Structure 1
Amino acid sequence: MTQTASPTPSAPPDDVVPGQEIYTPEFRADPYPVYARLRAERPVVKVRTPRFDSFLVTRYADARQALSDPRLSKDLYRAGDTYLAVFGEKARQINTNMLNSDPPEHSRLRRLVTQAFTPKRIEAMRPRVEQIVAGLLDRISPRGSTEFVDEFALRLPLAVIGDLLGIPEADHEEILAGTQVIRTVGTGGRSPQEDRAAIGQAQERLHAYFTGLVAAKRAHPGEDLVSGLIAARDGDGRLSEAELVSTCFLLLFAGYQTTSDFLGNAVVALLTHPEEMAALRADLDRLPEAVEELLRFDGSVPVSSFRFATEDLEIGGVAIPQGSIVTVVLSAADHDPELAADPDRLDLDRGPTPHLAFGHGVHYCLGTALARLEATTALRQVLLRLPDLRLDVPVEELQWLPAASAFRGLLELPLRFTPTPARGGPVTATPVAAPVTAERSGRFPLGDRPVARLGFGCMKLTGPRLMGPPADRAAALAVLRRAVELGVEHLETSDHYGPRIVNELVREALHPYPEQLVVVTKVGARRTPDGGWIPALQADELRRAVHEDLDTLGLDVLDVALLRMPGVGEPQPGAIVEPFEALARLQQEGLVRHVGVSHVTAAQVAEARAIAPLACVQEHYNLVHREDDDLIDALAAEGTAFQSMEGISYTTFFPVRDLSPEQAAVLDAVAQRVGGTRTQVAIAWLLARSPNLLVIPGATTVAQLEENVAAAALALDPLDTAELDRLAAIAGTPPPPRGPHGPPTP
């Protein structure tokens, strides 16, 4: 990080700086040069974003003044239209808490929660924090690699705050899914309007969850903080229901999000300053002081939550009109030379520095002691148990949260290290009863072998975000082994995102592979965590990808390699020709037995088939949604239900989403008659379409896997004509010519 100043942007006539001049792609990776320029040239500056204008305060002295100035209010109800412009109406239900209030309301709310965060109570949590850290590292340390954000940084603080609040461990994934939507706003390729809608939906789900949690704790109180807050409310009426639910949300989000982001930032800071890391590893007793410098150097909360001026005032000599939004840039203040000499240098021997990473004034972070306990415990054990720790990608390729995010953190952090044995006992999967097998679905001609028409898509193992390692590695391995036991013979391994995490899981679970198993991978275009595409379609890139798949899977030859094209925009004619010719050459060299295509148009299918026979064509499908209707229509037109194709496979990750009430009623009626679930009926319908249709659902648990495999039995049981017609109407496709599955393929 440097303090090299960029040229001063030309300000509009009203002296408002457009946000895009500050929040650039370079800012996303390293905001500190911009902060240095603002501190030097415009320490209090009005910035315009699409939804609102805000005065940024960047100097340390001004920041401390603003954070303790009672004329800058946090009360969301007093803010009125200003609040709605920033957050939207739906946010009110989860923001009625101490973060968004002023004294005396703030004092009342904070006093009720403070009991859980006394130094004595936090110190009593140390053994549990150490236990959680040890368990997470037991899963990571034997492998020699990890995606640190997903496998450790998110999991530790969520487990800790979950214990404190009394959130069942089984609910952690539900909590994570909702909070990650809010945290990663701006990274999914969505429009701002779609982002706001997604955030609103996530907030509603989290509000509903905590409303249910409060009801459960009221009926069955425990020793957790939520039960304590209920007792305080029900005892003398000091908390309203809205305040109770909103306080739970605040404690959850503030209690784990900021700590998880800081852990990733701290590890990157240490790895990019190897001399400092080596000195710290040699004397781990210095960790408490090191954590303070790491907080100052690259904290996870770059800006304070917004304040608004209740009257005209002045900060740093700049007039702030009544009603204006003020944002204190904590990270800029912490890099002020007036606070620390040579502030852009990481110096773990710097000594005490009154940084603002936890804020200042009446809203000073309540959980500082817990955050420090988690950070020191985690970093100590990471440095001890992951020897030769290093980045697994160049530092320039790390993906950070969006430039204008309220958080400073990484979307993912791939790391490598020397494997070490786990220190805990082995994790074993729970035995399960055997349902019907995938073979009941009939057989599909994939290349030179017929395989069961119900396969398995391994990307689902990585969880609802479809990126990074699985939340529970042992469970993922159990699912893979169970899939083979149940007769699954088509295994699609490919990761969309970066390192071949899924391949490594497949190898660990199944190598040496059963003779009947067909392993399918994808090469070519891949997705980025922010929703973009990396083409990776050059001949040398495809060759490298095939060799990486061979290496990580432990194979001498790939059964099937699918060329994945970028699934966005209108492709240029002939764009598939050169990459598919390159893949066909790898087939001729004996590195790949069969080839196919994925994320393509009907025209691209025709172009590829003119070069080499296709083992299969893949597209994503669910009961009421197809990614590419034109492709499906074109393939259907080639013959009755695709029968003239060499093969076509449809991946069905979410087969029953987006149903209207009328469609859901039809599906439920069929499910009730045949004794199945919506998902089973939807998968059975896909299998019923044609003998040349291979369906590849995914699963994150053995129970989900068995439910999907049971769909094979439904596909072979007769559905009456009226049911077939109703399901065809839902799917927007013709019904099968006869019966639920058509003639079996030899």
Structure 2
Amino acid sequence: MWLSKIRMAVNDGAFREKCGMGVEQFERTAPVESDRLDIDFLSDEFLKTPWPHLQKLAAKAPVFWSETQQAWILTRHADVKIAHTDSRFSARRADMLMGMLSKGIPDVEERYPIGCKYARLQFAFFDGTEHRRIRNLMVKAFSKSVIETFRLHAQQLIEDFLDQAEATREFDFVKLIAERLPCSMVQRVLGVRSGDTEAFFRAATAMQTVLSGGARTTEEMEEFEHAATYLRDTFSTLIEEREANPTGDLLSQLVQARDVDDRLNHDELLAACFSILDAGSETTAHMLGVGLLEICNRPDLQSLLRDQPEATPQLVDELMRYPGLVRLMHRVAAEDFEYGGQLIRKNDVVYMMLAAANVDVDVYENPLQIDPKRKIRETMAFGYGAHHCIGHLLAKMELQEFFTRAFQRFEIKVLEAAPPLVRLAMFRGYQRLPVKFVPRVPTTGTGQFSSQTG
């Protein structure tokens, strides 16, 4: 939702002045002649099948000024890659987020100081030396060797959820599994006590609602502030415990992280926990639903998961590429500069279309087909460069373990032909996904499985 709010906000003179953008900087006309190429991120067509239009943009106007979005749109793989690494495309977006929140509620940072404080401290909103320092400290906790230590936790947690699925048989996959499994996994790797699961889930949901952007109601902001206070207190206690007695969990890794004499201070540790919760819950939740539907529509992929589980990592990488999860990320121009034959002005919003980059015909053969044998190279599924998702190994491990175990244990059917998509420009995901999980049982003496009816 927040992306639709950005385009309204950047047209508001008072908002642009508050964020230091300058009203005069945004007066312009479209640099390409045809409105046919423009795009509405929240249109039904774009939400359902964005790729043909994005491929057309990449071919005809790869650096495109959108009157609808009031922003630049980059669609070629090469340009999206550059925008991730070129310092002229800045990740400093906290002022924009606060500006959007304040449109609905005046003095938002004074009224909700704890939530807004930790929203501003999200290191994804940092650039340059500041971002590099915190990332260098955090990345040690997300190394392949550390993430592997959590695989058994993931397997046990997934089996618990699959046991619930077996007991229920028919249910909404989004509500029973997709929304709760990733949040529960974050809870475990950070060492939050299992008895706090429901409160932790509610707090995570309240945080994600506001951090997704856009104007919010007073009730939503009050829930956000309450959630931030609860999480601050919860994580503060855990940080103190890990400082005294490290346990080997992810939070212990963050507490112990060092870069020469540097370390994360208390607020930075808290902000890191908030970031892990926000990014680690919502994104994986949506991808569980997206991936499940695609696999259910392809019997060959189901057979692959059952007969060649070692091929699962490559399949997950391909599903992350197409249909994928994250459609776009955005940046703010740090200065006036020319790019791709267009003049980009300071504080212009620039959308990096990851969904377009991942189906670029110059990079991928038959990009609109799911090929489980495809050798993925430089996918933009998790971003690129210094802002490449720090938790990508954890997310992929969860997805790999879930899809392998779910399809080995069950015949899974989606009960709705076209489940409704969430109305979010950034993420592909489903509002609901009615499913039926039918347990598979071994066929005597064959080592094979068949479905169990009844």
Query: Corresponding residue for 2:296?
Result: 271
- Alpha-carbon distance between aligned partners in 1 of 2:352 and 2:435, rounded to the nearest angstrom: 33
Matched, 1:414 2:428: no
Q: Which residue of 1 aligns with 2:92?
A: 75
1:355 aligns with 2:369: no
Partner of 1:256: 281
- Superposed CA offset, 1:219-267 (max 9, x none): 533524445545669x978444443322211011112221121111111
The one-letter code matched in structure 2 to 1:378 is: F
Could you tell me which residue of structure 2 aligns to residue 54 of structure 1? 71
Counterpart CA distance in 2 for 1:315 and 1:282 is 49
Code of the aligned partner of 1:381: R
| RCO comparison, higher one (Cα < 8 Å, 6+) | 2
- Residue 293 of structure 1 deviates from its aligned partner by 0.6
Q: 1:85 aligns with which of 56, 76, 99?
A: 99
- Residue 213 of structure 1: aligned partner: 234
Q: Which amino acid aligns with 2:50?
A: P
Distance between the aligned counterparts of 1:132 and 1:83, measured in 2? 34
Change (3 A) 1:261 1:102: same
C-alpha displacement of 1:92 = 4.6
Distance 2:78 2:168 in 1: 47
1:310-349, Cα deviation, whole Å (9 max, x unpaired) = 1122333332112212121111110111121121111112
The CA distance in 1 between the partners of 2:305 and 2:264, in whole Å, is 45
C-alpha distance in 2 between matches for 1:383 and 1:61: 36
Secondary structure of the structure 2 residue equivalent to 1:418:
strand
d(CA) in 2 for partners of 1:237, 1:297: 40
Confirm or deny that 1:159 pairs with 2:176. Answer: no
* Residues 209 and 226 of structure 1, relative CA distance in 2, 3 Å threshold: farther
Per-residue CA deviation, residues 689-726 of structure 1 (Å, 9 max, x unaligned), is: xxxxxxxxxxxxxxxxxxxxxxxxxxxxxxxxxxxxxx
Pick the aligned partner of 2:402 from 378, 383, 390.
Answer: 378
**What letter is aligned with 2:81?**
R
Say whether 1:393 aligns with 2:408. Answer: no
Q: 1:62 to 1:53 in 2, by over 3 A?
A: same
Q: 8 Å contact 1:62–1:315 — kept in the other structure?
A: no
**1:243 match:** 268
Give the deviation of 1:354 after TM superposition.
2.1
Distance across 2 between alignment mates of 1:231 and 1:288? 30
Whether the 8 Å contact between 2:322 and 2:370 is mirrored in structure 1 is yes
SS at match of 1:295: helix
Confirm whether residue 331 of structure 1 aligns to residue 360 of structure 2: no
Q: Which among 172, 175, 199 is matched to residue 174 of structure 1?
A: 199
Determine the structure 1 residue equivalent to 2:157: 132
- The 3 A distance-change label for structure 1 pair 25 and 227 is same
Change (3 A) 1:240 1:121: closer
Match of 1:15 in 2: 30
Distance change >3 Å, CA 170–CA 358, structure 1 → 2: same
CA contact (8 A) 2:58 2:75 kept: yes
CA distance in 2, matches of 1:243, 1:199: 25
Between Structure 1 and Structure 2, how many residues are aligned? 394
Matching of residues 690-701 of structure 1 within 5 Å? none
Larger Rg: 1
Change (3 A) 1:218 1:352: closer
Distance 1:356 1:86, change over 3 A: farther
1:165 Cα shift?
Answer: 1.4
Matched, 1:43 2:62: yes
CA contact (8 A) 1:183 1:407 kept: no
Partner of 2:391: 367
Deviations 1:174-224 (A, max 9, x none): 333344356568x9xxxx74x454553343233212220233125533524
Q: TM-score with structure 2 length normalisation? A: 0.78
> Which residue in the other structure is 2:175 paired with?
150
SS of the counterpart of 1:141?
A: helix
Which amino acid counterpart does residue 362 of structure 1 have in structure 2? A
Partner secondary structure for residue 435 of structure 2:
strand
Matches within 5 A, 1:659-678: none
Residue 302 of structure 1 deviates from its aligned partner by 1.5
Q: Choose the corresponding residue for 2:328, options 303, 307, 310.
A: 303
- Please list every run of 5 or more consecutive structure 1 residues that lacks an aligned counterpart in the other structure: 1-11, 422-746
Indicate if the aligned counterparts of 2:305 and 2:408 stay in contact, CA closer than 8 A: no
Amino acid of the residue matched to residue 30 of structure 2?
D
Per the TM alignment, residue 135 of structure 1 is displaced from its structure 2 partner at its CA by: 1.0
Instruction: Describe the shift of the 1:201–1:236 C-alpha distance in structure 2 as closer, same or farther (beyond 3 A).
Output: farther
In terms of fraction of residues, the more helix-rich structure is 2
Q: Which residue number corresponds to residue 103 of structure 1?
A: 128
Query: In the TM superposition, what whole-angstrom CA distance separates every residue of 1:348-374 from its partner, at most 9, and x where no partner exists?
Result: 122233211011011111112212211
The answer to whether the aligner puts 1:31 opposite 2:50 as a matched pair is: yes
Contact persistence 1:273–1:346 (CA under 8 A): no
Partners of 1:252 and 1:212 lie apart in 2 by 15
Return the letter of the residue paired with 2:133. R
Residue 415 of structure 1, CA deviation = 0.9
Alpha carbons 2:333, 2:350 under 8 Å: kept: yes
User: Could you tell me whether the CA contact under 8 Å between 2:208 and 2:278 is conserved in 1?
Assistant: no
Q: Helix, strand or coil for the counterpart of 2:71? A: strand
- One-letter amino acid of the counterpart of residue 40, structure 1: A
Contact 2:206 2:224 in 1 (8 A): no
Aligned to 1:508: none
Question: Would the alpha carbon gap of residues 335 and 153 (structure 1) be closer, same or farther in structure 2, given more than 3 Å must change?
Answer: same
Alignment RMSD (CA, Å): 3.1
Q: The residue matched to 2:421 in structure 1 has which SS?
A: coil
8 Å contact 1:264–1:413 — kept in the other structure? yes
What one-letter code is carried by the residue in structure 2 that aligns with 1:53? Answer: Q
CA–CA distance in structure 2, aligned partners of residues 131 and 382 of structure 1: 13
Rounded Cα–Cα distance in structure 2 between residues aligned with 1:23 and 1:250: 26
Tell me the residue number matched to 1:63.
Answer: 80
* Cα distance in 2 for residues equivalent to 1:417 and 1:207: 36
Cα distance change of structure 1 residues 101 and 267 upon mapping to structure 2, 3 Å threshold: same
- In the alignment, which residue of structure 2 is the partner of 1:685? none
Unaligned runs of 5+ in 2: 1-26, 103-107, 110-115, 442-454
CA distance in 2, matches of 1:199, 1:39: 38
Map 1:341-352; keep pairs closer than 5 Å. 341-352=365-376
User: Structure 1 residues 196, 242: CA separation in 2 closer, same or farther (over 3 Å shift)?
Assistant: farther
Q: 1:201 aligns with which of 222, 238, 245?
A: 222
The CA deviation at 1:280 is 4.2
2: CA distance, partners of 1:83 / 1:350: 38
Q: Does the aligned pair in 2 maintain the 1:154–1:260 contact within 8 Å?
A: yes
Q: Which residue of 2 aligns with 1:667?
A: none
Distance 2:66 2:294 in 1: 29
Query: Are residues 1:317 and 2:341 paired?
Result: yes
- Paired with 1:288 and 1:281, the residues of 2 have a C-alpha distance of 13
CA 1:13–1:109 in structure 2 vs 1: closer, same or farther (change >3 Å)?
closer
The residue type equivalent to 2:77 in the other structure is: Y
Report the CA distance between 1:122 and its aligned residue.
1.1
Distance 2:357 2:256 in 1: 40
TM, length-normalised to structure 1:
0.49
2:63 & 2:222 partners in 1: Cα distance? 35
2:450 matched residue in structure 1: none
CA contact (8 A) 1:214 1:230 kept: no
